[in-house]
Structure formats: C-alpha cells, structure tokens
Amino acid sequence: MFRGFRWLLVAAAVVLTGCAATGPRYAEVESAFPTLRAGYGRVLVYRPAGLGAAVQPELLLNGELIGKAQPEGFFFVDRAVGRYTLTASTEVRTTAELDLADGATVYVQFGISMGLFVGHPRLTLQSPATAVPQLAALAYTGAVPLVPGPARSRQADALPSGPAPSRAAPPGQVTLDDLGSLLPAR
C-alpha cells in the first residue's frame, strides 16, 4: 500500500512540475518592455505558483483572447485608454473591471480557488508595490519575443525624460519597439 502511495506522489510531482511556465524571467526582460504610446495603457496579468497548476484557463479582454493563465508566468497587452472587462472561465466565469489610464499599467493577479470539479479562477487587481516584487521570478509567456537585458533602474523610471531611447536588439532578434512601427496609426 505504501509503495503505491509513493508512486502516486512521484507521478503527481512530475505532472505538476511540467505545468510551470518557462521562458525569460521578468527581471531579465522588463527593460525590453516597449514604451507605451500616447493614449495607451498596459494590462499585465501574472500568476504566482499555487493551487490548481494544471488548470490554465484562457483570459479574454473585452472578448478578445489575450493569453493563458500559466503558473509562475506573466504576460501583458497594451490597449487604448478606456474601460475593459477581463474574463477567465473554468466551471464558473470570473470577471474584473479595469480602467486603463494613459501611460499606466494595471496589474492583475490570477489565482485559483477550490471548486466543485475544477478550480474557480480569481482575478485580483494589485498595486505596483505588491505586484512587482511577485513578478521578479515569474517567466514571460507573452506572444512577442522580448530581448533580455539589464534590469531597469526604478529611480530612472520615476524621473521625467525626453523621447524614449531606441533599444537595439542583437542581430536577428526583434523587439516590440521594432514592431510598433508596423502598426497602423490611430
């Protein structure tokens, strides 16, 4: 009996370790985040480790698929200033109302609580003071590749500055800033 229980624990550990997000860590790619255009804000969704690692629902912003809630991962999307509804569904549907302000980032922590058959998603708005320390070790799971670089100074972010400096990517790699020029003007 104990031998069977031991194998069950080993199998569960193998399955759950395969669920964590992989990719460059926040601290490595934060300096490569594109500068927000005027009239835009950023929605950053993150999921620290916790209950229900195998449950990874899709997240919708005003009905548009923007990502998947992977354990120990984060992603972001930039959108025009305004009011948005973020939605995640398992056996229940959970929403969070977001107000995007010009140049601001809204941090949304994803979590799972116990459900009848499947965990229930939780979407919690967090302050930068709470979110940023939690993000440091999380993996980037976004769709566009970011080029890892040195961490950005928090003091430098607080100071107003002129136009954003151009970030040169190593040959063969593309940053979000490079792709921004391909988007139609709004």
Q: Which domain CATH number covers 122? A: 2.60.40.10
In the predicted model, is pLDDT for residue 116 greater than 60? yes
Is 175 within a domain?
yes
Quote the pLDDT of residue 5: 41
Domain count, the chain: 1
Residue 55 and residue 115 in contact, taking contact as beta carbons nearer than 8 Å: no
DSSP 20-58: S--S-BHHHHGGGSPPPPTTEEEEEEEE-S-S-TT---E
Kindly report, residue by residue over 54-86, the tens digit of the pLDDT: 678 889 999 999 998 889 999 999 999 999 999
Kindly report, residue by residue over 137-180, the tens digit of the pLDDT: 898 888 766 756 555 444 334 333 444 444 444 444 555 555 55
How far lies 5's CA from each of 2, 9, 11, 12, 39, in Å?
Answer: 5, 6, 10, 11, 57
Q: Look up the domain containing 49 and give its range.
A: 23-148+170-180
Structure tokens at 160: 């107003």
Structure tokens at 172: 């063969």
Is 156 within a domain?
no
In the predicted model, is pLDDT for residue 109 greater than 80? yes
Which residues does residue 68 pair with via DSSP β-bridges, in sequence order? 58
Is 128 within a domain?
yes
